[in-house]
């Protein structure tokens, strides 16, 4: 019997009525004659609420204890979904990440999956059960509970699909796939029916919320097709797969969670090492004569402490930055598109703080407060 892996995000199970609808969908899939593994996120904003609680107790909480706390969110949703599925006459069982055999390195709060040992899942599938797996979590070889970072449930789903020999993973959220821009920012954004792994990975790294970049990287290596769908609307989807033709100008993506660290050229290596130790994701680094800079993502609960540590070393931190990114096939070979993006920003009075070009993308650094206007202006210029 073939296996399908379905992942449901927090917005899909934000309350009990939504969770019941997910249970209906899962039970219907199982009744169609396929084995089903469900990866589930914490309900709604549970993870954010747990983080806030931790910071009430300690502004700089130990990361091991954060992992112990945050993994409780998925334990709640996995058990409730199992109950809802069983209530419908469909046998089901829930597992934590560690029970599912998801083995990670020992980096708390941002672990990477090393291997998957899906033996318990396979045993339960053989008994005819739906298996619900808590996303976003695993266990290190030291038998410590770990979490996979924001969007880690996507990675859980892809890793399980690869380990179980599934040919696709269905990623459900509150949107029906990927668009040429965030529809909440650009209402007339175009739906994209298919994308290459490379395009989707660039979009995810640029800040697109539909899929996690690590998950896309995992899917590319394992050749797992990703079907991004809406939980509550049937119809359109975006398929990310190897044979996608892609779009000539795929998407414009914005993000508002960046900061720039300015250091001397001789301090660049130390700044890179320190940023990693502080849990900051480095998006860009560059040398300019005797000076250097790093652009980092500040989406970490420890940002205030990290910034203080950086400034204590005498480095200049420029906060409240964002970026607008154009992702397109062979963008580097079409400088007119990059020129159009820069002209569009100038027309609406947005100051460009820096820019970076790669074969599939162009990224402009702007003030965080200008990101939405920048996305609208650049998207219009790309049409």
Alpha helical stretches, state H, the chain: 16-31, 46-57, 63-87, 119-126, 152-164, 197-206, 213-222, 268-277, 303-312, 335-347, 371-382
What pLDDT, on the 0 to 100 scale, is given for residue 302? 77
Which residue(s) pair with 229 in the sheet?
172, 237
Q: Domains of the chain (ranges plus CATH)? A: 3-174 (3.40.1160.10), 251-382 (3.30.2130.10)
What pLDDT, on the 0 to 100 scale, is given for residue 346? 96
What pLDDT, on the 0 to 100 scale, is given for residue 246? 59
d(CA 89, CA 27): 9
What pLDDT, on the 0 to 100 scale, is given for residue 249? 54
Residues of the chain with pLDDT under 50: none
pTM above threshold 0.95: no
Give the DSSP per-residue string, 26-42.
HHHHHHTT-EEEEEEPP
What pLDDT, on the 0 to 100 scale, is given for residue 190? 94
Q: Give the C-alpha distances (Å, rounded to integers) separating 17 from 20, 32, 132, 365.
A: 5, 23, 18, 41
Q: Could you identify the residue written with the tokens 């975006």?
A: 238
Q: Give the C-alpha distances (Å, rounded to integers) separating 232 from 19, 33, 171, 221.
A: 11, 22, 13, 30
Q: Give the C-alpha distances (Å, rounded to integers) separating 256 from 47, 259, 356, 367, 379.
A: 20, 9, 17, 8, 17
Q: Cβ(262)–Cβ(318) under 8 Å?
A: yes
Q: Is 204 left (phi over 0), alpha (psi -120 to 50) or beta?
A: alpha
Q: Cβ(137)–Cβ(195) under 8 Å?
A: no
Residues written for the chain: 383
278: nearest Cα among 311, 253, 307: 307
Q: Give the C-alpha distances (Å, rounded to integers) separating 71 from 80, 296, 331.
A: 15, 26, 40
What pLDDT, on the 0 to 100 scale, is given for residue 331? 73
Q: CA angle, 109 as apex, 262 and 280 as ends, to 5°?
A: 5
């Amino acid at each position: 019997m073939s296996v399908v892996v379905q992942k449901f995000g927090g917005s899909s199970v934000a309350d009990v009525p939504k969770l019941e609808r997910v249970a209906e969908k899962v039970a219907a899939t199982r009744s169609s004659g396929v084995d089903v593994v469900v990866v589930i996120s914490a309900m709604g904003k549970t993870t954010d609420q747990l983080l806030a609680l931790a910071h009430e107790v300690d502004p700089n909480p130990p990361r091991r204890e954060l992992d112990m706390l945050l993994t409780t969110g998925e334990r709640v949703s996995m058990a409730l979904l199992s109950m809802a599925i069983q209530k419908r006459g469909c046998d089901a069982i829930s597992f934590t990440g560690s029970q599912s055999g998801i083995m990670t390195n020992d980096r708390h709060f941002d672990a990477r999956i090393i291997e998957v040992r899906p033996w318990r899942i396979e045993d339960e599938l053989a008994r005819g059960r739906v298996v619900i797996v808590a996303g976003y979590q695993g266990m290190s070889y030291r038998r410590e509970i770990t979490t996979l970072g924001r969007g880690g449930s996507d990675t859980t789903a892809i890793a399980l699909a690869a380990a179980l020999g599934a040919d696709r993973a269905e990623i459900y959220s509150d949107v029906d796939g990927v668009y040429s821009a965030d529809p909440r920012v650009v209402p007339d954004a175009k739906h994209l029916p298919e994308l290459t792994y490379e395009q989707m990975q660039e979009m995810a790294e640029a800040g697109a919320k539909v899929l996690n970049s690590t998950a896309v990287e995992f899917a590319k290596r394992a050749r797992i097709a990703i079907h991004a769908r809406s939980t509550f609307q049937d119809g359109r989807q975006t398929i990310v797969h190897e044979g996608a033709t892609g779009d000539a100008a795929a998407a414009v993506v914005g993000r508002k969670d960046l900061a720039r660290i300015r250091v001397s050229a001789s301090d660049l290596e130390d700044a890179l090492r320190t940023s990693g130790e502080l849990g900051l994701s480095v998006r860009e680094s560059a040398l300019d004569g005797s000076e250097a800079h790093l652009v980092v993502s500040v989406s970490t609960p420890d940002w205030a402490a990290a910034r203080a540590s950086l400034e204590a070393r005498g480095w200049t931190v420029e906060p409240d930055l964002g970026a607008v990114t154009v992702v397109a096939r062979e963008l580097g070979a079409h400088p007119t598109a990059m020129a159009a993006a820069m002209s569009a920003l100038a027309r609406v009075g947005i100051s460009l703080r820096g820019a970076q070009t790669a074969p599939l993308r162009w990224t402009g650094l702007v003030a965080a407060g200008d990101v939405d206007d920048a996305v609208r202006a650049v998207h219009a210029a790309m049409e």
